[in-house]
Amino acid sequence: MQSSESFGEEQEFRVRKLELSDKSKGFIELLQQLSLCDSVSDKEFEDRFRELSSLGDDHVICVIEDPGSGKIVATGSVFIEKKFLRNCGKVGHIEDVVVDSSARGMNLGKKVIGFLTDHARAIGCYKVILDCSLENRIFYEKCGFKQKEIQMVMYFI
Ligand SMILES: CC(C)(COP(=O)(O)OP(=O)(O)OC[C@H]1O[C@@H](n2cnc3c(N)ncnc32)[C@H](O)[C@@H]1OP(=O)(O)O)[C@@H](O)C(=O)NCCC(=O)NCCS
């Protein structure tokens, strides 16, 4: 566990959009702390990166790079659902939020959520939603979310 002093000053941890070069900065290894994620080849990464980039503001992945080590220490994504309901309204869906285990408790998760919710608001979503485990409920409440309904799932694999 790295102490917060061994990272850069907190204000240096800025949120930015994912870049192609982030694969070599530990982006995939960070995702592996969240869920099953096999290794991704450079070609696979580039293909998926370009596919998502072509969606522009409708699918944004953000990251925080540790200015000291150059490693990606936090990430999250938001994609925009376009509806007929609510006067052809838009809903932001937040996914894949994770902070490196050595950098938790430094408000990086809150920064990631702030970036993603600001994005959803700025492009006109009337709400932003996400699924989380019960153990992360308080974190999301501190980010301004409230619990509503339940999640249902059907896995195909
Ligand atoms: C959940 C996670 C993203 C939080 O990131 P983080 O950078 O450690 O959180 P922050 O430092 O921004 O915390 C913000 C606030 O939430 C609180 N908090 C964070 N995680 C919490 C938890 N699990 N339970 C209760 N409070 C929590 C912090 O104490 C802080 O409170 P404060 O504002 O009163 O000081 C991180 O722990 C993580 O990556 N966990 C593993 C992956 C995961 O579960 N991702 C979520 C998928 S839905």
Q: Per-10-residue mean pLDDT for the chain, 157 residues long?
A: 48 92 97 90 98 98 97 98 97 98 97 98 98 96 96 92
> Is 34 close to ligand 1, i.e. is its CB under 6 Å away?
yes
Q: Give the full edge-to-edge strand order of the sheet including 15-17.
A: 15-17, 59-65, 72-82, 90-99, 127-129
pLDDT of residue 11: 54
Domain ranges of the chain: 4-142
18 vs 53: CA distance, rounded Å: 10
Instruction: State whether CATH 3.40.50.1100 applies to domain 4-142.
Output: no
Of all protein residues, whose CA lies closest to atom 37 belonging to ligand 1?
A: 104
Query: Which residue out of 62, 108, 139 has the highest number of ligand 1 atoms within 8 Å of its CB and is therefore the one to mutate?
Result: 139
pLDDT of residue 5: 47
Of all protein residues, whose CA lies closest to atom 9 belonging to ligand 1?
A: 109
Q: Reduced to 3 states, what is the DSSP secondary structure of residue 123?
A: coil
118 vs 70: CA distance, rounded Å: 25
> Is 135 close to ligand 1, i.e. is its CB under 6 Å away?
yes
